[in-house]
DNA sequence: GTCCTTTATAGTCAAGTTGACTATTAAAGG
DNA sequence: CCTTTAATAGTCAACTTGACTATAAAGGAC
């Protein structure tokens, strides 16, 4: 606890640690889940892929540092970084997770819609950033593979009982696109009519775009467009198939 | 990210922070939820109640520090501390949360069964520790009121979709006791027959103690005894009433 | 244009789950 | 013995879910 120094100890006799943030930012592209990675330009792990992140500055909270580092390191547009759905995952504090020194890292999970050309275009360090399919993210620096796995699991679980899936979609989307998010994140197939029924029956999950707005992604009947609704949680939840809950 | 220093910056030019842990340890006593607090013996907030916790030592992870601090500060028996269900809540990193210096705190949630006389008996600092009904925990030091509120909400939510409630019960318990845990944590009433049906229908949630073991808490028909089963998650979940999910 | 393919959307139906109840059983206390 | 208390058994309708079938509206190939 802050200030909760052991009684009788000098509360100022603390060990100084470096505090960093790491971000697992996901998007769904072409039916596959991607994570935003940067190529490390210095030791240790020079040349390896790593999650974006960096040191928390003296007057910043971890949340503030996370957004700043993301903007600096990946060149994502300001608007995207500001609107990004960001959430604390957990803190990684194993003593030897960084070979140089004692570093405690607060990890975050971020969700963005598929971007035209995400990690490009930005200036400076952006050139080192890339969207990588999660299945191909091997050999990550530090304990970032663990963080990535934890983040994936958390996102999958959150889709079950929150309305978070819309964070992967553009401002207006079809139910087919929303279903694709679920199927991609869960790596499972979902029955389409049942999915529609569930989503539309959950008040505030999505709301229809009023104008007879429709959009065709190519072939097939045009789909109605929806926007994220005011609801944030799903009651009752939308449980993923398999995963050991025999029904 | 550990090591993910902004490209081009000196990775060693980090700001040293103090890193602490804070623990919100709960138990259920007499139909009320209690949290373990300590009375601060020094400034700041001298004399105030606070969550137990303290600095993470150079070679410790936050989890290790949490258990050590709990044992040191509260005098809970070693066996209890070792068996305690402990889980990261989140990390609090607002720059001014500690008036003395920059302190980043990793908060944990702990669950223990009702103990004969919890915070007493231990040596040293244990005298400063006490179980306090959560409703009466006012004027906590630092941002501990926020941490406590977050922890309560998390525990309530976890009861819905995990088998965690048994962590509040002794090794063998009746379904009535288990139901009381739910009712106390949720501050809601639960229909008894429906609760039994749900718990018994969830494979691995609880298992009957084989010997015709029965126990009477006093009046009434003796209840069968159960032990925690191997399951950890509840599929489908056991949703709390109210809370805006009209059924 | 006329098929054929593709995707969206509308239903149906049985099985499973839940919420609200009503018994019945087995103890303790007077 | 009768009342109180709590555990356990069972009922029933409403709701939800999983598995399907059917229809509608577009584009593409000929």
Residue B132, domain member (yes or no): yes
pLDDT value, residue A54: 94
Residue B205, domain member (yes or no): yes
b vs e for B210-229, b when ≥16 Cβ sit within 10 Å of the residue's Cβ? Answer: eeeeeeeeeeeeeeebbbbb
H or E element, residue B26: strand B16-29
pLDDT, one tens digit per residue, over A205-221 is: 999 998 756 766 667 88
Same domain as A146, residue A199? no
Longest dimension (CA), chain A: 73
Smallest Cα distance from B25 to chain A, Å: 13
CA R_g for chain B: 20
Residue B67, domain member (yes or no): yes
pLDDT value, residue B245: 43
Same domain as A107, residue A26? yes
Distance B213 CA to C28 C1' (A): 19
Q: Which residues of A touch B38 (CB under 8 A)?
A: 4
Tell me how many degrees the CA angle B59-B60-B63 measures, rounded to the nearest 5: 170
Residue B71, domain member (yes or no): yes
Residue B245, domain member (yes or no): no
pLDDT value, residue A210: 81
Whole-angstrom Cα distance, residue A193 to residue A212?
21
Smallest Cα distance from A41 to chain B, Å: 7
Residue ending a domain, among B158, B183, B212, is B158
Name which of A6, A72, A142 is nearest B2 (Cβ-Cβ). Answer: A142
Under the banding of pLDDT at 50, 70 and 90, the label for residue A16 is confident
pLDDT value, residue A135: 95
Distance A218 CA to D28 C1' (A): 11
User: What one-character DSSP code corresponds to residue B234?
Assistant: -
pTM for the full predicted model: 0.90
Same domain as A192, residue A141? no
In CATH, what number is assigned to the domain containing residue A199? 1.10.10.10
Q: Is A141 exposed, middle or buried (0-12, 13-18, 19+ CB in 10 A)?
A: buried
Q: Which residues of B touch A20 (CB under 8 A)?
A: 1-4, 14
Distance B84 CA to C14 C1' (A): 45
Average confidence (pLDDT) over A80-97: 96
Same domain as A209, residue A223? yes
> Which range of residues forms the domain containing residue A201?
162-228
Whole-angstrom Cα distance, residue B166 to residue B112?
9
Q: Footprint of strand D, using CB within 7 A? A: A 191, 193-194, 197-198, 201, 214, 216, 218-222, 236, 238-239, 241, 247; B 174-176, 192-194, 196-197, 217-224, 247
Residue B3, domain member (yes or no): no
Residue B98, domain member (yes or no): yes
Same domain as A199, residue A147? no
Same domain as B142, residue B51? yes
pLDDT value, residue B232: 94
Distance B1 CA to C9 C1' (A): 46
Tell me how many degrees the CA angle A238-A241-A245 measures, rounded to the nearest 5: 95
> Taking the CB of residue A241, how many other CB atoms lie within 10 A of it?
11
Q: Which residue of B has its CA nearest to A147?
A: B1
Closest nucleotide to B218 by C1' from CA? C28
Whole-angstrom Cα distance, residue B23 to residue B51?
6
Q: Which residues of chain B, if any, have pLDDT below 70?
A: 1-14, 116-127, 212-213, 215-218, 242-247
Same domain as A189, residue A169? yes
Same domain as B27, residue B134? yes
Smallest Cα distance from A28 to chain B, Å: 23
Same domain as A71, residue A145? yes
Q: Which residues of A touch B105 (CB under 8 A)?
A: 1-2
Residue ending a domain, among B102, B126, B158, is B158
Whole-angstrom Cα distance, residue B95 to residue B99?
9
pLDDT, one tens digit per residue, over A154-186 is: 999 999 999 999 999 999 999 999 999 999 999
pLDDT value, residue B19: 96
In CATH, what number is assigned to the domain containing residue B124? 3.90.79.10
Number of domains in chain B: 2
Residue ending a domain, among A139, A158, A177, is A158
Same domain as A140, residue A127? yes
Same domain as B152, residue B167? no
Smallest Cα distance from A78 to chain B, Å: 17
Taking the C1' atom of C25, which residue's CA lies nearest?
Answer: B221
Q: Does A204 have pLDDT greater than 90?
A: yes
Yes or no, beta carbons of B4 and A14 under 8 Å apart: no
Same domain as B173, residue B127? no
Q: Which residue has the higher pLDDT, B123 or A60?
A: A60
Whole-angstrom Cα distance, residue A158 to residue B223?
37
Residue B44, domain member (yes or no): yes
Distance of CA A35 to the CA centre of its chain: 8
- Average pLDDT along chain A: 88
Yes or no, beta carbons of A17 and B17 under 8 Å apart: yes
Yes or no, beta carbons of B93 and A73 under 8 Å apart: no
- Chain D, protein-covered positions (CB within 7 A): 4-11, 15-22, 24-28
* Beta strands at A16-29 and A53-55: parallel, antiparallel or unpaired: antiparallel
Q: Does A246 have pLDDT greater than 50?
A: no
φ, ψ for residue B184, nearest 5 deg: -70, -50
């Amino acid at each position: 606890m802050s200030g909760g120094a052991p009684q009788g100890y000098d509360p100022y006799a603390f060990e100084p640690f470096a505090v960093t943030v790491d971000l697992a930012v996901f998007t769904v592209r072409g039916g596959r889940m991607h994570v935003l990675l940067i190529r490390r330009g210095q030791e240790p792990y020079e040349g390896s892929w790593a999650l974006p992140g960096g040191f928390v500055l003296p007057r910043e909270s971890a949340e503030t540092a996370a957004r700043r580092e993301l903007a600096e390191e990946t060149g994502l547009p300001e608007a995207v970084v500001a609107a990004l759905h960001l959430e604390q995952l957990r803190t990684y504090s194993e003593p030897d997770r960084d070979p140089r020194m004692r570093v405690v890292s607060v990890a975050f999970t971020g969700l963005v819609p598929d971007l035209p050309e995400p990690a490009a275009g930005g200036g400076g360090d952006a050139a080192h950033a890339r969207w990588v399919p999660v299945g191909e993210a091997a050999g990550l620096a530090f304990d970032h593979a663990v963080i990535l796995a934890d983040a994936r699991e958390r996102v999958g679980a959150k889709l079950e009982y929150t309305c978070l899936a819309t964070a992967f979609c553009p401002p207006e989307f079809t139910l087919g696109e929303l279903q694709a998010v679920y199927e991609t994140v869960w790596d499972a197939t979902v029955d389409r009519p049942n999915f529609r029924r569930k989503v539309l029956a959950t008040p505030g999950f999505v709301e229809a775009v009023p104008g007879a707005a429709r959009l065709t992604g190519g072939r097939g009947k045009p789909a109605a467009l929806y926007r994220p609704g005011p609801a944030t949680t799903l009651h009752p939840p939308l449980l993923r198939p398999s995963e050991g809950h025999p029904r």
